[in-house]
Amino acid sequence: MTYFLQNVVNALQWGSFYALIALGYSMVYGVLLLFNFAHGDVFMVGSYIGFFVATGLVGLSATGIITLPYWLILVLTILISMILTSFVGMLIERVGYRPLRDAPRASAAITGLMIGIILETLNLIALGAERYKFPELLQSQTYDFMGVSITNKKIMIVFVSLLLMYLLNLFVMKTKWGMAMRAMAYDFAVVPLMGIPLNTIAALTFGLGSALAAAAGILFGTAYPVMDPYMGVTIGWKAFVAAILGGRGSIVGAAVAGFILGFIEIFSASIFPSTYRDLIAYSIILLILVFRPHGLFGQEHTSKLRL
Amino acid sequence: MPLLEVKHMTHFFGGLRAVHDFNLSIEKGEIRGLIGPNGAGKTTIFNLITGVYTPTEGEILFQGQPIVGLQPHEIASRGLSRTFQNLRLWRHMSVVEHIKMARYSKLTYGLVGAFFDTPERRRQEEESDEIAHRLMKELGISHLADQIVTNLPYGAQRRVEMARALATEPDLLFLDEPTAGMNPEELVEMMDIFRQVHEEFGMAIFLIEHRLRVVMELCERIQTLVFGEVIAEGTPDEIQNNPKVIEAYLGEEDIH
């Protein structure tokens, strides 16, 4: 039983990472009907931005000009990095996707791959092959809860993720921009004819998705501090799987499927030898998709792009 | 000054001439009709004026300002709204959401205003709510407010589209075959709604129709378009008795 609960805790942590990243894929798909394959690398960029912001704030605090407690540095790091990374996302939309909006879908799809490679390479050029270590902002503490050991980091990661998802839901359901994002998912071409600026909404969607990826990058950095330019590749692809599993364009689906993916992976590893983890986990997901080809929350997606 | 003025508008799709030397002048509050057989280029004219396509040649003035080359959302928020030939609703959104969505350009608060829920934001949202409910009442769809539009019968969906177009507070409303696919009963109801809406809000209406009866009853002036060219223009009586119009419609079942 404790072993089971221990795995639940771990699954929630990994599920949080996957869910936050998957949301970015799904939101962009919902609005523009294409997947931003650079999204995993946006996670990486967000994590590095988080590293520099955190290091800067720690340094600032050390000079004694203003002394910031570590928890406040963590909160500020997450907020500032989310904002900065959202600009990266909007820039990607502006230079990579907007000029190709009327191009064949395949061209727009490889844009993401190319931008991803560019981001990885830029990172290597700028920072070299040296591996950076994310500063320890949260002193690790382990609580024993009915024999299950839970670290304060895991609690923080799951809490922050759920909070962000809650705020995202408020944004999408209650604000005019969120409503416009949903409207674009159903009928793209009509949206501007009702006085809504497509480009603003598209940019905002990229910005939001990227901000969530940045949050994931920082949370990931607090749990697994060693960073490298390719850290976003595998986790990005896995989150992409979660976005498809949730149902293309479905925000709820992406969040739920992120956690499902976390559970399937962790429990595969707990039952079978850990080398088999991904083999088993992704065979299960393949099987789910055979029976639910539109994903768990997917509707047949036929948004009309033209009049 | 006319509300809308189109001068010598011509449009090519590749080598195909879709619209040739189209001229139009609509006054405030006028109901104008455009008829013509299928494929004559009627919807293309709507798309050209609303900014979906940019005309190859010609000039378009709305409220005295040139609008050629503006983005569709800019033209729409200047007070030109429309409905669509084939219903174009956001399938899984509710009726009230459709109407509130169309208020986008009237809600001027920014991200900061939304985040801190400023009094100004609340005031604007309340005003939007009020307008949404008034429009739904006007169009007889109040009881459907929270329904998802895909679940509604066809006639009700047409009304939702109309309410959405009205929510942008247009000075000029384009209606693209608004009675397409309706049975005779729904047709009569819909025509009452046009009259009621026109009386209530006083905006000008530019109507594309396939059914002559609708335009003949509603419009003050009518143009007839065939192969992208206006072959006749005049009052309903003049149009009905114009030999060119009769010839263009010959063999068409929809003459009455």
pLDDT tens-digit series, residues B67-92:
999 999 999 999 999 999 888 999 88
Residue of chain A whose alpha carbon sits nearest to that of B166: A194
Last residue of a domain, one of B164, B190, B220: B164
Answer whether B84's CB lies under 8 Å from B177's CB: no
Write the CB contacts of A265 (distance below 8 Å, at least 6 apart in sequence): A11, A14, A277, A278, A281
CA distances from B195 to A33, B206, B219 (A): 40, 13, 11
Residues in chain B closer than 8 A to A185 (CB atoms): 90
Q: How far is B240 from chain A (nearest CA, A)?
A: 31
Strand partners for B172? B80, B204
With CB atoms and an 8 Å threshold, state whether A194 touches B89. Answer: no
Strand partners for B25? B5
**In a shared domain, residues B256 and B174:** yes
How far is the C-alpha of B20 from the C-alpha of B37, rounded, in Å?
Answer: 16
Residue among A82, A101, A194, A201 with most chain B CBs within 10 A, to mutate: A194
In a domain, B255, yes or no: yes
Question: Up-side HSE of residue A76: CA atoms within 13 Å toward CB?
Answer: 16
Strand partners for B230? B225
Answer whether A40's CB lies under 8 Å from A235's CB: yes
Answer whether B139's CB lies under 8 Å from B132's CB: no
Last residue of a domain, one of B110, B139, B164: B164
- Residue among B88, B91, B105 minimizing CB distance to A195: B105
**In a shared domain, residues B191 and B75:** yes
State pTM to two decimals: 0.89
| Number of structural domains chain B divides into | 2
Query: Which CATH class name applies to A2-291?
Result: mainly alpha
Q: Indicate the helix (H) or strand (E) that contains B77.
A: helix B72-77
With CB atoms and an 8 Å threshold, state whether A197 touches B90. Answer: no
ipTM at complex level: 0.88
* CA-closest candidate to residue B102, choices B132, B134, B74: B132
- Residue among B97, B105, B114 minimizing CB distance to A175: B114
The CATH number assigned to the domain holding B221 equals: 3.40.50.300
Residue of chain B whose alpha carbon sits nearest to that of A168: B115
**φ and ψ at residue A136, rounded to 5 degrees:** -80, 100
**In a shared domain, residues B244 and B224:** yes
Domain regions of chain A by residue span: 2-291
- Residue among B73, B88, B168 minimizing CB distance to A198: B73
How far is the C-alpha of A248 from the C-alpha of A32, rounded, in Å?
Answer: 11
How would you classify residue B8: left for phi > 0, otherwise alpha for psi between -120 and 50, otherwise beta?
A: left
- Residue among B52, B93, B111 minimizing CB distance to A186: B93
Answer whether A48's CB lies under 8 Å from A230's CB: no
Give pLDDT tens digits along chain A (307 positions): 788 889 999 999 999 999 999 999 999 998 888 899 999 999 999 999 999 999 999 999 888 888 889 999 999 999 999 999 999 999 999 999 999 988 888 888 899 999 999 999 999 999 988 889 999 988 888 998 888 889 999 999 999 999 999 999 999 998 999 999 999 988 888 999 999 999 999 999 999 999 999 999 999 999 999 999 999 999 999 999 999 999 988 899 999 999 999 999 999 999 888 888 899 989 999 999 999 988 998 876 556 666 6
Q: What is the CA radius of gyration of chain A?
A: 19
Answer whether B185's CB lies under 8 Å from B153's CB: no
Residue of chain B whose alpha carbon sits nearest to that of A305: B88
**In a shared domain, residues B97 and B144:** yes
Q: Indicate the helix (H) or strand (E) that contains A251.
A: helix A251-271
Residues in chain A closer than 8 A to B92 (CB atoms): 186, 299
pLDDT value of residue B181 = 81
- Which residues of chain B are modeled with pLDDT < 50? 255-256
pLDDT value of residue A305 = 62
B103 shares contact with chain A (CB less than 8 Å):
yes
Q: Indicate the helix (H) or strand (E) that contains B80.
A: strand B80-82
Last residue of a domain, one of B120, B143, B164: B164
Q: Which domain holds residue B207?
A: 28-53+66-79+170-256
Q: Would you say the C-alpha torsion B191, B192, B195, B197 has a positive or negative sign?
A: negative
**Dihedral angle computed from the Cα positions of residues B121, B123, B124 and B126, in that order, rounded to the nearest 10 degrees:** 120
| Tokens (6 digits) for B25 | 């002048």
Q: Indicate the helix (H) or strand (E) that contains A58.
A: helix A39-63
